[in-house]
Structure 1
């Protein structure tokens, strides 16, 4: 059994995805609907998935909740709310009381798009994180390397809130550098309330050179050592991963990067940890 903790769906007739810009992103400039997801999952061994928001649009999350009600294998939703809104608690409450609100398990914001490296420790954002904690949801960290110090400070203020680090904090795989990413990831992992997704690595390297376990192994080894197999979860980042690798290739790559683990630890990374974090 396998849980894919990170994938997206979008319909460009319903909502634009402004981040899909430039000729290099053209493979993603089309719709990715539930039928495409089902096709990708066929024969993969993945029996549950986590659908993650793509844009800071309050209408997207209710739509994802409805999809979770009707699409086989979507078992959890990570949505979006404006953490800086004065009525953030009410906004989260409306999502949780939505007819399909039981699927909402987490909140995320594209912090990586915020120019302020200290965005996560702004007072209004901290108030929003407190609201996420009070709602019993997890908070997903989508951050750049330079934003990790602020993430470490924010995590330290909410020891009862489970944080999930997306895409290993987007390490500089293309340049082959490890620092300061590795040091900061280890400092974040020192907080026991942080879990990391083994996801997004293929698109942090030269896409034409992927999938390549040799180039990615140093980064996978850092998060495996820092978080341990009990705080690491597999995620595909489909369909974004298609820029560098097919769905099946991403799964195979993750298995190669964790091949040295014992059966119990691999089961935790690919299945058990996600079921616990997202209450699947």
Structure 2
């Protein structure tokens, strides 16, 4: 049985992909075999609705330019998807024109941010490069945010980038992937606090179950990391995300949201409303309209 729904929820981080449209070359090896199949919004919708989710943010999976227009078109046809965090090459001199062109596409109004796979980029200082900073400035000028998917050792670079570019909003996915499985807190805690000390930073309470032991994770194991994030960012700069379907490796959709509710149970009702909806709506500029039921599978 799931936790009773007490407020409308925005799932600020999930994915879809269709292996018939495009390979997901990161899904390799036996451990990831359970998610090496197609996942559509139609697969997500019943789980989301059962959990009280009224809107979602669909996040890029691969560094392929064609994916973002596909996601925007899907958002245009699906009431559940309120925002899209896509990908485009931020190092291109004409990135401002590219962002403007994306905004003019079907569903272009749903573009809320851009993400790059910093965690696997071969340049260890990617965020601090002059061409990237130019692209990030163009992103901010377009009213978009930058999602960060990084490893814990990259958090100091993220803090330096945020300090250099106070006009850019940086959204940290999955709390920077803390080492939950090992139980270690440092240096992740210090690095997260340094990043959170900057006012233009936000974080997602997402992806924690897959950073823990997939077979034996507990809410108690997640709690020190969630508590650190709540103390560092506060409820108005923290947002819930499921990370579905990657989360399926360790938990059901219902178990992920139940864990997040347990981790935030000590907050006031108003603070929980921020984590589960308010922060995402404000940071991503999402509309207040409730979700409908029409969600074509579409390409991913």
TM band (smaller chain): over 0.9
Question: Which of 194, 218, 222 does residue 224 from structure 2 map onto?
Answer: 218
Question: Which of 10, 13, 18 does residue 17 from structure 2 map onto?
Answer: 10
Aligned counterparts of 1:145 and 1:43: Cα–Cα separation in 2? 33
| Structural mapping, 1:145-224, within 5 Å | 145-210=152-217, 212-224=218-230
1:273 matched residue in structure 2: 279
Instruction: Tell me by how many angstroms 1:99 deviates.
Output: 2.7
Instruction: Tell me by how many angstroms 1:178 deviates.
Output: 0.6
Instruction: Tell me by how many angstroms 1:115 deviates.
Output: 3.1
Aligned counterparts of 1:91 and 1:40: Cα–Cα separation in 2? 35
Q: Which moved more, 1:98-107 or 1:33-42?
A: 33-42
Relative to the length of structure 1, the TM-score reads 0.98
Deviation track 1:25-67 (CA, whole Å, cap 9, x = no partner) reads: 0111100012101132231100000000000000000000000
Instruction: Tell me by how many angstroms 1:278 deviates.
Output: 1.3
Question: Do the aligned residues in 1 keep the contact of 2:146 with 2:169 (CA within 8 Å)?
Answer: yes
| Structural mapping, 1:231-270, within 5 Å | 231-270=237-276
Could you say what secondary structure the match of 2:215 adopts?
A: helix
1:227 aligns to 2:236 (yes or no): no
Instruction: Tell me by how many angstroms 1:116 deviates.
Output: 2.9
Instruction: Tell me by how many angstroms 1:202 deviates.
Output: 0.4
The number of residue pairs the alignment matches comes to 279
Cα-Cα RMSD: 0.9
Instruction: Tell me by how many angstroms 1:153 deviates.
Output: 1.0
Relative to the length of structure 2, the TM-score reads 0.91
Question: Do the aligned residues in 1 keep the contact of 2:57 with 2:81 (CA within 8 Å)?
Answer: yes
Instruction: Tell me by how many angstroms 1:131 deviates.
Output: 1.1
Q: Which moved more, 1:87-96 or 1:234-243?
A: 87-96
Aligned counterparts of 1:20 and 1:104: Cα–Cα separation in 2? 25
2:5 matched residue in structure 1: none
Aligned counterparts of 1:130 and 1:8: Cα–Cα separation in 2? 26
Instruction: Tell me by how many angstroms 1:92 deviates.
Output: 1.2
Question: Do the aligned residues in 2 keep the contact of 1:117 with 1:146 (CA within 8 Å)?
Answer: no
* Greater fraction of residues in helix: 1
Aligned counterparts of 2:168 and 2:235: Cα–Cα separation in 1? 20
Deviation track 1:150-180 (CA, whole Å, cap 9, x = no partner) reads: 1111111221221111000000111110111
2:103 matched residue in structure 1: 96
Question: Do the aligned residues in 1 keep the contact of 2:76 with 2:106 (CA within 8 Å)?
Answer: no
Question: Which of 144, 150, 164 does residue 143 from structure 1 map onto?
Answer: 150
Moved over 4 A (4+): none
